[in-house]
Amino acid sequence: MGIRELARLLNLSTYTVSRALNGHADVNEETRRRVVEAAERVGYSPSQSGRSLREGTANAVAVVLSFDRADQRVPFFMMIGRGIQAGLRPRGYDLVLHFIAPGEDSLSQVRHIVERRLADGIILAETLPDDFRVSYLVEKSFPFITLGRTLAGDTHPWIDLDFESAVAQSLSRLTSFGHRRIGLATGSPRLMFDQIVRESYTREMRARDLGPDPMLMLEGPPDQAGGQSLTERFLALAEPPTAIVFSHESSATGAYRGLADAGLQPGRDVAILSCTADSSTAQFLVPSLTCFGLDGLHLGQRLAEELLALIPARGVPPSVHEVQSLWPWTLIARESDACQPRTVPVEG
């Protein structure tokens, strides 16, 4: 039932019904009570589009994601999305997902959201080292926060996973088993977190007097086929690594196939570990994949809360606070890397 039908039901004008529902003082208490009770009885809800036009807001927050392929990051982002939605609803905001199609310009999508005022704030994921989207949003003074760091836009609000800690925990575990030749498999330098993982790996390996050996740092597509190919390249080295750290779960999953084709097994012949969030895939691989656990629901809620603090409320100036913090996670030790180093057969 719309407002016109509700007004006809009460034999009142739509003007009176609207003002009664919005608490205007020029509507007497008896009329207001009648209108509110009738609205509750018939299940009337105000038009969000009409309210947005009156208030000059969209009452929505956009989350911008770009998936180059259907990979195993989807459950992770859906978990974060649930938390974001839980943080937005009590404040009357809706969550709107904007997916960037392969080959689509993500900056153009962000501009589209801002210029058409499709949202009051933006949460950007999958940040890039030189992220022009961040520079654009800073220039426009548009409320936003990123899930991930970037080198663009000077200072800006962000929350990121503590990849430095994840790499340090991973290498501490592997070296405790006696591993010294530890490979690193990452995606392309396009994503900021891959760059952070590489830098952290280099720093931690040097701190342990283990190199690093550039031959043990490989990049490839962050999917199963890419992980299989990277594993085959590692095994083809004159001195293959006895352990491999992956920055993408999909790549780690592909490594299982690469090892199997060579007659090898994770957790027995080569230690496999992934600096990614735990998932059902990681749990049900055989052997199960060592990775990291985090509270994704509360991470999403925190992103929502920090963004809402930057959005001007009705008549209330936004907070000048800009969060920049690392979100903790903890290594989940499983069977895929629980082995001591052994000589890996060299191809050929």
The SS3 call for residue 2 is: coil
For 340, other C-beta atoms within 10 Å of its C-beta total: 10
**Closest to 146 measured CA to CA, from 159, 155, 132, 136:** 159
Peptide bond into 328 cis (omega under 30): no
Which tokens in the block code for residue 181?
A: 């030749």
- The reported pTM is 0.81
Stated as kind and residue range, the H or E segment containing 132 is helix 132-140
Q: Tell me, what's the pLDDT at 331? A: 97
For 201, residues 6+ apart whose C-beta sits below 8 A from its C-beta are 167, 171, 184, 212, 217, 245
How far is residue 147's CA from residue 145's CA, in Å, rounded to a whole number?
7
How far is residue 181's CA from residue 163's CA, in Å, rounded to a whole number?
21
- Residue written as token pair 């022009």: 132
Per-residue confidence in pLDDT tens, the chain, 348 aa: 677 888 888 898 888 888 887 667 788 888 988 888 888 888 776 655 455 544 557 789 999 987 655 455 667 888 899 999 999 988 888 999 888 877 788 899 999 999 988 999 999 988 988 899 999 999 999 999 999 999 875 678 999 999 999 999 999 999 999 999 999 999 976 789 999 999 999 999 999 999 889 999 999 998 899 999 999 999 999 999 999 999 999 999 999 999 999 999 999 999 999 999 999 999 999 999 999 999 999 999 999 999 999 988 655 566 666 789 999 999 999 999 999 887 665 555
Burial of 202 (0-12, 13-18, 19+ CB in 10 A): middle
The SS3 call for residue 134 is: helix
**Closest to 142 measured CA to CA, from 72, 214, 81, 64:** 64
Amino acid at 165: S
- First-to-last alpha carbon distance for the chain, in angstroms, is 75
Which tokens in the block code for residue 100?
A: 């960037």
Q: Tell me, what's the pLDDT at 270? A: 97
